[in-house]
């Protein structure tokens, strides 16, 4: 339970960071006056990236149609690549924990404890010896 919570927290943090980074990179393809509003859409949505559903984040309403189409394509690109980056990094935590468990299990030694029967307990036993 704790492991899944840790992965969830790591995934959310990575989604926020990677989509913000990808938005900064993608904004360079837009005209200068539209870059900051584009990046702001992702910065405002960082805490709830899942609310977009099938759509990209809402874009500023004052975008010209040509820029709006380009921004929509860039936003889809940002989300797809940002989420992919986040999942790749988040998978490292459970893989690392599993490898640590594997190494720990391999390092453990099993010993067999064979306790000899004391002579006092052998008094009632038959002494059977096989001669070859």
d(C-alpha 35, C-alpha 67), whole Å: 11
The mean pLDDT value for 104-119 works out to: 72
Q: Is residue 114 part of a domain?
A: no
Structural domain that includes position 88: 2-107
- Find the mean pLDDT for residues 68-95: 88
Question: What is the structure's pLDDT at 121?
Answer: 55
Residue 130 is assigned to a structural domain of this protein: no
Mean pLDDT of the chain: 79
Determine the pLDDT at residue 119: 57
Whether residue 45 lies inside any domain: the answer is yes
Q: Is residue 23 part of a domain?
A: yes
> Do the domain assignments include residue 16?
yes
Question: In this predicted structure, what is the pLDDT of residue 9?
Answer: 87
pLDDT value of position 99: 93
Is 122 a member of any domain? no
Distant-in-sequence, close-in-space partners of 39: CB < 8 Å, separation ≥ 6: 20, 23, 24, 27
End-to-end CA distance of the chain: 62
Residue 115's pLDDT is: 64
Nearest to 44 by CA among 65, 72, 23, 29: 23
Whole-number pLDDT of residue 28: 92
R_g over Cα of the chain: 31
Indicate whether 120 belongs to any domain.
Answer: no
Helix ranges restricted to H, 46-110: 65-90, 92-107
Point out the least confidently predicted range of 42-56, 63-77, 82-96, 101-115: 42-56
Report if residue 126 sits inside a domain: no
Asked if pLDDT for residue 131 goes beyond 70, the answer is no
The band of 116, judged by pLDDT with boundaries at 50, 70 and 90, is: low
How many domains, the chain? 1
| Banded model confidence at residue 29, pLDDT cuts 50, 70, 90 | very high
């Amino acid at each position: 339970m704790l492991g899944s919570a840790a992965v969830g927290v790591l995934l959310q943090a990575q989604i926020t960071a990677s989509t913000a980074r990808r938005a900064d990179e993608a904004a360079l393809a837009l005209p200068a006056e539209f870059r900051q509003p584009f990046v702001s859409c992702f910065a405002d949505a960082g805490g709830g990236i899942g609310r977009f559903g099938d759509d990209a984040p809402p874009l500023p309403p004052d975008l010209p149609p040509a820029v709006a189409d380009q921004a929509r394509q860039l936003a889809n690109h940002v989300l797809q690549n940002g989420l992919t980056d986040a999942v790749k990094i988040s998978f490292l935590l459970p893989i690392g924990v599993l490898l640590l468990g594997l190494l720990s299990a391999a390092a453990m030694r099993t010993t067999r404890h064979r306790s000899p029967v004391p002579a006092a307990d052998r008094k009632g036993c038959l002494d059977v010896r096989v001669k070859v």
